[in-house]
Amino acid sequence: MGLLSRSLSLAAVSAAALIAAQGGAHAGAFALREQSATAQGYSFAGAASGSGYLSSMFWNPAVITMMPGWQTEVSGSLIIPRVDINPLPSVPTFVFGGSGDIGEDAFVPSGYSSFQINDMFWLGLSSTSPYGLVTDPRQNWSGQLYSRSSRIFSVNVNPVLGVKVNDWFSFAVGPSLQYFDIRLKRAVPFPGAPAASATLPGAPSGILDGDDIGFGFTAGVTITPFAGTTIGIGYRSQVEHELEGSLQAPFGSIGPFANLPITAKLKTPDQLTVGFSQVITPAITIHAGFEWTNWSVLKTPLVLGPGGVAVTDIPLNYKDGYFYSLGADYKLNDQWILRAGLAYEQSPIDTEIRSTRLPDNDRIWASLGASYQWNEQLSFDVAYTHIFTKNTNIRILPGHQDFEGLPYLADVDSSVDIISAGLRYRWDNPKVAIPAVPLVRKY
């Protein structure tokens, strides 16, 4: 049990690292897909069917039944975004300039551990950050009425139980505990001044801040209908949060208060992922993936003050998101595996609702990766991704959910680079047989 203790301790250390990390959203809306250095090399193709080894349990916990013995996997992703919002000359505040680069470099760690009890049962534990966002434009800019800095941060801990029913079917399920924190900042009018003063340089800021711990679950199955063919289906549930925090602004700028206690109910979306992996030759395996994220569940959370009175809202109203991916790996020799993948992501955000906080759009992922097997127990993974984003514009006009009386039209120039590295370690001796389930006999 000492080996199990060490394995779970590493997962706990990874969870502690998550608390110190800041995440930049680089999967549709404010989700973070960067949970596996291995799967990233395929642009996450086959993530639910085990292409990410143990870290695939983020998408499908049943893959732990594919991992013999006691194993740990940790990874970290450096996300390097570049996002510039450039107002059109027709914008009344054009003279105050663009946002500058609102993207913030981010490091996103994750950790996974599994422990095989016998040839039928597994225990697993993951610590991840499924949601994150950091955007930070210049303090004084042409769109400050609609946003200054934005931050979303999360930590999710998910223990699971995996069951291998037979050689072709396994399933797993487990609860998840999720911490969620949000902080949104924008310009507000000078105290006692007209609302239009919020567009002027030096205008004060209003800050909405709240956090909560919520609960959900993950579940999944793996099916191996033929040798060399794996199908995986994984599900992550919604997590409902009742955020508690404050709405802060200089007295007299947006109301007769400076620090108002607030609550707001917000659900993070459920997600269904399907993966397919097929061995073509002993050296070549292909992978495919599909992901649906129920972003439409977010709607427009109301922000309630004392007595349950609505003081503002958070207009989201996203559509559902979709992700399609293809990848392949090539086993160069007993030590090296090379991989590559392409993906198309259909964003839940379009021009009808696109904001200056999160100017997201459809994108193409192009990835390369490699694994090096140091010995029977230790291996290393690296991956690189470049994300190409479609031409994006912001059109905040009458009828737009963010419209505050000031038309704001802008073009967005963006791109993202992601560099990931990870290691996998097997704590037990691979040459020692795993215990079998004891047979029960009648006498």
Residue 64 has pLDDT above 60, yes or no: yes
Residues 6+ apart with CB under 8 A from 101: 82, 83, 84
Residue 24 has pLDDT above 60, yes or no: no
- Of 6-15, 369-378, 389-398, minimum mean pLDDT range: 6-15
Instruction: Identify the CA nearest to 45 among candidates 350, 383, 281.
Output: 383
- Cα(169)–Cα(220) distance, rounded to whole angstroms? 11
- Cα(171)–Cα(224) distance, rounded to whole angstroms? 12
Output the six-digit token pair for 263.
């609550």
Q: What is the mean pLDDT of residues 75-94?
A: 96
Output the six-digit token pair for 409.
């039209």
Instruction: Identify the CA nearest to 38 among candidates 420, 433, 407, 441.
Output: 420
Stated as kind and residue range, the H or E segment containing 427 is none
Angle in degrees, CA 104, 107, 111, rounded to 5: 150
Condensed to tens digits (0 to 9), the pLDDT of residues 175-227 reads: 999 999 999 999 999 998 998 999 999 999 999 999 999 999 999 999 999 99
Residue 72 has pLDDT above 70, yes or no: yes
Residues 6+ apart with CB under 8 A from 9: none
Output the six-digit token pair for 442.
């009648």
- Cα(60)–Cα(163) distance, rounded to whole angstroms? 13
Q: What one-character-per-residue DSSP string does 8-24 give?
A: HHHHHHHHHHHHH----
26 pLDDT band, cuts 50/70/90, is low
Percent share of the chain, pLDDT over 70 = 92
- How many whole angstroms from its chain centre is CA 234? 15
Long-range contacts at 63-66 (CB < 8 A, ≥ 24 apart): 63/220, 63/222, 63/232, 64/114, 64/122, 64/124, 64/160, 64/162, 64/172, 65/122, 65/162, 65/163, 65/164, 65/170, 65/172, 65/222, 66/170, 66/222, 66/230
| Strand, coil or helix: 96 | helix
- Against a cut of 0.75, is the pTM above it? yes
Cα 221 to Cα 126, 230, 262, 292: the distances in Å are 17, 10, 41, 17
Contact of 187 with 144, CB cutoff 8 Å: yes
Condensed to tens digits (0 to 9), the pLDDT of residues 338-360 reads: 999 999 999 999 999 999 999 99
Percent share of the chain, pLDDT over 90 = 86
